[in-house]
């Protein structure tokens, strides 16, 4: 508001165009404050003090102590996030190992099933072959008996 006030050449000129965020009554009180001798004296002293600063304070209205506390909190939060990332990475590695082991077990199980199916198929083929041979023998014997009878 003070920066807006300083754009005008005089208090009277500023009073004619109140700041958009104030009522006319509030603006009149602010103009009185900005032209008050004690305010102007304090403002001049502040300008001198600011000009003597060697380090610019860029934290706005936040004090150095509060800024330091916030930075400390931020560092703790970063450490916590890093720890969580490390835990997550470890979990993912362990999960990957378990998943690989489960996949290997599943492959082994499927291979065992395939081998078992082949064994059963070979047994069935062997049984069918024996049955066919038995039937041929029986047929051959019947034919011999038939020829002997004739």
State the DSSP code for 18.
-
Nearest-angstrom CA–CA distance, 6 and 43: 12
Token pair 């403002």: residue = 43
The model's pLDDT over 82-91, given as tens digits with 9 standing for 90+, comes to: 999 999 999 9
Q: Are the C-beta atoms of 15 and 28 separated by less than 8 Å?
A: yes
What pLDDT score does 82 carry? 95
Q: How high is the pLDDT of residue 52?
A: 86
Percent with pLDDT over 70 in the chain: 98
Residue 109 vs residue 57, higher pLDDT = 109
For every residue of 47-82, which 3-state class applies, written as one string? HHHHHHCCCCCCCCCCCHHHHHHHHHHHHHHHHHHH
Q: Are 16 and 24 in contact (CB under 8 A)?
A: no
Mean pLDDT of 49-68: 79
| Residue 34 near residue 2 (C-beta atoms within 8 A) | yes
In eight-state DSSP terms, residue 20 is T
Residue 62: pLDDT band with limits 50, 70, 90:
confident
Please compute the mean of the pLDDT values over residues 4-17 and round it to a whole number.
94
Cα atoms found within 13 Å of the Cα of residue 56, Cβ hemisphere only: 2
How high is the pLDDT of residue 57? Answer: 64
User: Residue 51 — pLDDT band, cuts 50, 70, 90?
Assistant: confident
Q: Check residue 56 and give its pLDDT.
A: 65
Decide: helix, strand or coil at residue 131.
helix
Reference 69, options 57, 81, 77; nearest CA is 77
Per residue in 104-114, pLDDT (tens digit) is 999 999 999 99
Q: What is the mean pLDDT of residues 58-80?
A: 87
Per-residue pLDDT reduced to its tens digit, 17-48: 999 999 999 999 999 999 999 999 999 999 89
In this prediction, residue 60 carries a pLDDT of: 74
């Amino acid at each position: 508001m003070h920066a807006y006030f300083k754009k005008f050449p005089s208090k009277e000129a500023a009073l004619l165009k109140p700041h958009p965020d104030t009522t006319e009554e509030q603006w009149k009180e602010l103009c009185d404050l900005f032209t008050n001798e004690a305010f102007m004296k304090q403002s001049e002293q502040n300008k001198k003090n600011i000009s003597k600063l060697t380090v610019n304070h860029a934290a706005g209205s936040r004090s150095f102590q509060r800024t330091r506390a916030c930075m400390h909190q931020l560092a703790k939060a970063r450490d916590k996030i890093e720890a969580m990332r490390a835990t997550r990475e470890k979990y993912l590695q362990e999960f990957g190992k378990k998943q690989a082991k489960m996949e290997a077990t599943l492959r082994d199980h499927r291979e065992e099933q395939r081998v078992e199916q082949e064994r059963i198929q070979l047994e069935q083929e062997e049984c069918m072959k024996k049955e066919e041979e038995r039937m041929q023998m029986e047929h051959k014997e019947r034919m011999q008996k038939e020829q002997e009878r004739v």
